[in-house]
Structure 1
Amino acid sequence: MAIKGVLFDFSGTLFRIESTESWLRAVLAEAGAALPEAEVVRAAERLEAAGALAGGVPPEDPLPADLAALWAVRDRSAEEHRAAYTALSLRVPLPDPGLHDALYDRHMTPAAWRPYPDTAEVLAALRGRGVAIGVVSNIGWDLRPVFREHGVDHYVDAYVLSYEHGVQKPDTRLFALACDALGVAPEDTLMVGDSRHADGGAADLGCAVHFVDHRPVAERPDGLRPVLGLIG
């Protein structure tokens, strides 16, 4: 089978969000809010445990029923995404309540994201081979500026984002929309992602699937390169 199109997940696959501590420090600096060092570190630890950083780790503790229900559908719309992550952030006391909205806003900025070291290399190589490239993401905001800021937008033929369609992975409808956007049949498409649950849904549509490890940028210098060996 010759692969004619490759779909990539965003967070943990092509890009990685900054650390929770970096995220918090950036917002505190922007707001001019000074906290003792020990309090900054402790607040960052609590925000991480709460799962408040989108693209970071999920909540460590079981969520109340109402928040658990919202968490399960957080990627269906911009409103649900903001509500879910802001509710998680609000579980951690901060000196100014407005910081919670600022934290959510920060994670949507290109500065909060870094491409993996081999992202541009692999996308360029696929483009050179004439392979169509799509990005399929469970997300509540427009990630296109992140790709533009980091100089890789021109490699992407189509973006299929859950909040724009009201459908989130692993629902096969989102992958079908992506294949249609590329003009490639599912059986000629490879899905690359870090979540066996969410991204693995592409297999139910007939796509081949390849998984990468969701690790910090410095710890995964060449995790995407094996994709090139899968293209016939």
Structure 2
Amino acid sequence: MTVKGALFDFSGTLLRIEPTEVWLRAVLDARGVSVAPDDFARYAALLEAAGALPGGAPPRRVPPALAELWATRDLSAERHRAAYTGLARQVALPDDGLYDALYERHMTPAAWRPYPDAAEVLGELRRRGVSVAVVSNIGWDLRPVFRAHGLDRWVDAYVLSYEHGVQKPDPGLFTLACEAIGHDPCDVLMVGDSRPADGGAAELGCAVHFVDHLPADERPAGLRPVLRLVG
């Protein structure tokens, strides 16, 4: 197989969201809300269990009232926000404005950290003439995050579920990505961290490579095997 194009997932593949405790602390400080240390630890643990941080740990349990919304959260910006703020509202926080503030925080560049080898791998793919698209199940525009971290220069296209009303593993989203970079799926490699979602690219004939969904510090070179696969 000659790889002419590479599709990359976003969260857990190229960049990683900040830990729940950092996320919560940033929002509390920004809003001037003070809580006791024990309460802070409790809020952080409950938010993590609820799966309220997009890109973080999945919900341990999705309330029945949110089940349909959760399953289709990446089809629109409205559904994405409603799903995650709905999960967060299972936790009784001291300020009602915190729920929307927490959601807004996760969309900021400061909330995301590129994996240590992301720039190296994307830059080398560009040097080799391999086209790159980011294909993400998401409910907001991640382009500013890529620009802020200096990764946008190596990305040829962004194919985001909420902009097209289709989410992975539907082959339609991967089809759009292959079309965006102008390559036949048989010449394209999909790189992601979710077998159920990113594995959908295989239906089109794309090769698929999975990376481990780990904190950035624990995966310093997880993307480098992509360069060997590209050749």
Letter in 1 for 2:147: R
Counterpart for residue 153 of structure 2 = 154
Alpha-carbon shift at residue 144 of structure 1 (Å):
0.2
User: What residue in structure 2 maps to residue 130 of structure 1?
Assistant: 129
Gaps in structure 2 of 5+ consecutive residues: none
Amino acid at match of 1:219: E
Q: Distance in 1 between matches of 2:167 and 2:151?
A: 24
The structural deviation recorded for 1:93 is 0.7
Distance in 2 between residues matched to 1:65 and 1:30, nearest whole Å = 33
Q: CA RMSD in A?
A: 0.5
Residue equivalent to 2:23: 23
Shift of 1:182: 0.1
Report the alpha carbon displacement of residue 229 of structure 1 after superposing the two structures with TM: 0.3
| 1:58 corresponds to | 58
Q: Which residue of 2 aligns with 1:85?
A: 84
* One-letter identity of the residue aligned with 1:153: D
Match of residue 6 from structure 1:
6
Whole-angstrom distance in 2 between the partners of 1:205 and 1:179: 10
Counterpart residue number, 2:199: 200
Question: Over residues 71-116 of structure 1, what are the superposed CA-to-partner deviations in whole Å (9 max), with x where a residue is unaligned?
Answer: 0000000000000000000000110011000000000000000000
Superimposed CA distance per residue, residues 160-219 of structure 1 (whole angstroms, 9 cap, x where no aligned partner): 000000000000000000000000100000000000000000001110000000100100
Residue 174 of structure 2 corresponds to 175
Aligned counterparts of 2:64 and 2:92: Cα–Cα separation in 1: 21
Identity in percent? 71
* Alpha-carbon distance in structure 2 between the residues aligned to 1:21 and 1:185: 43
Q: How many residues were matched structurally? A: 231
1:227 aligns with 2:226: yes
Query: Does residue 1:191 correspond to 2:186, yes or no?
Result: no
Per the TM alignment, residue 41 of structure 1 is displaced from its structure 2 partner at its CA by 1.1
Dislocated runs of 4+, deviation >4 Å: none
Please report how far the alpha carbon of residue 65 of structure 1 lies from its aligned counterpart in structure 2 after TM superposition: 2.3
* CA distance in 1 between partners of 2:2 and 2:48 (Å): 41
Equivalents in 2 of 1:213, 1:97: separation in Å?
35
Structure 1, unmatched stretches of 5+, are none
Deviation at 1:64, TM superposition (A): 2.7
Q: TM-score, normalising length from structure 1?
A: 0.99
- For 2:47 and 2:203, the matched residues in 1 are separated by 35
